């Protein structure tokens, strides 16, 4: 237990109060430590004024050295490292962004080319389809025309055949009529009379 030191502090405080000085706690503490100046041992060490110059002296040296080391070597160096890293990261990110933009551009170009090709293919298909349709149409027309010609020829042949058949029928009719009349009357009519009579019958129906 801090019996010895607390007593000395208490004595110091008593002395301090008795002295009637208005001072801060620090000054009071220094007051408390005053006896040690006069050689008495066991002052509270933190308030032992005797040690102050030495402590301040070494503190000034060490803290000055630390400040110098930090401000001229350590901090600029660490700051530079951090800056460099930030720069590297930013540069890498930039590069990555640029690469990505490039890739997207390429993808777009590819897409466009693909669309173009598709459109071309469609055009070609349409054109060939049109050409095919046109060709078949032409052929159809040609065939139709040919068929029409054949039909006309056939019709003409039929008509000619029919006319000749009809004239044959008339000739045959007058001959039959002459033969019938001759059989009935015993007297043959002239060919002209017979053919007139046949014409009359034919015209009636």
The residue ranges that bind other proteins (CB under 8 A) are 1-5, 24-26, 29, 44-48, 50-60, 62-63, 65-67, 69-71, 73-75, 77-82, 84-85, 88
Nearer to other proteins, 84 or 199 (CB): 84
User: By the 8 A CB rule, do 15 and 36 touch?
Assistant: no
Which structure tokens are listed for 134? 């046109």
Residue 55: CB minimum distance to other proteins, A: 5
Q: Kindly tell me which of 75 and 154 has the beta carbon lying closer to other proteins.
A: 75
Report the residue number, 3 or 203, with the smaller CB distance to other proteins.
3
* CA 66 to chain CA centroid, nearest Å: 59
Asked whether 78 and 60 are in contact (CB, 8 A), the reply is no
Q: How far is the CB of 108 from other proteins (least distance, A)?
A: 35
Minimum distance from CB of 18 to other proteins (Å)? 23
29 contacts 47 by C-beta, under 8 angstroms: yes
Minimum distance from CB of 3 to other proteins (Å)?
A: 8
């Amino acid at each position: 237990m801090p019996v010895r030191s607390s007593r000395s502090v208490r004595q110091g405080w008593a002395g301090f109060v008795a002295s009637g000085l208005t001072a801060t706690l620090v000054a009071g503490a220094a007051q408390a430590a005053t006896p040690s100046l006069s050689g008495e041992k066991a002052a509270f060490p933190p308030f032992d004024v005797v040690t102050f110059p030495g402590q301040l002296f070494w503190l000034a040296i060490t803290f000055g050295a630390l400040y110098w080391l930090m401000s001229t070597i350590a901090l600029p160096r660490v700051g530079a490292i951090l800056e460099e890293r930030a720069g590297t990261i930013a540069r890498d990110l930039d590069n990555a962004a640029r690469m990505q933009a490039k890739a997207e551009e390429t993808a777009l170009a590819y897409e466009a080319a693909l669309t173009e090709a598709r459109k071309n293919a469609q055009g070609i298909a349409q054109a060939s389809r049109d050409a095919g349709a046109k060709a078949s149409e032409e052929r159809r027309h040609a065939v139709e025309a040919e068929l029409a010609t054949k039909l006309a020829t056939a019709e003409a042949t039929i008509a000619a055949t029919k006319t000749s058949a009809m004239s044959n029928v008339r000739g045959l009719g007058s001959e039959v009529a002459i033969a019938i009349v001759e059989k009935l009357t015993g007297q043959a009519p002239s060919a002209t009379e017979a053919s007139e009579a046949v014409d009359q019958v034919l015209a009636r129906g």
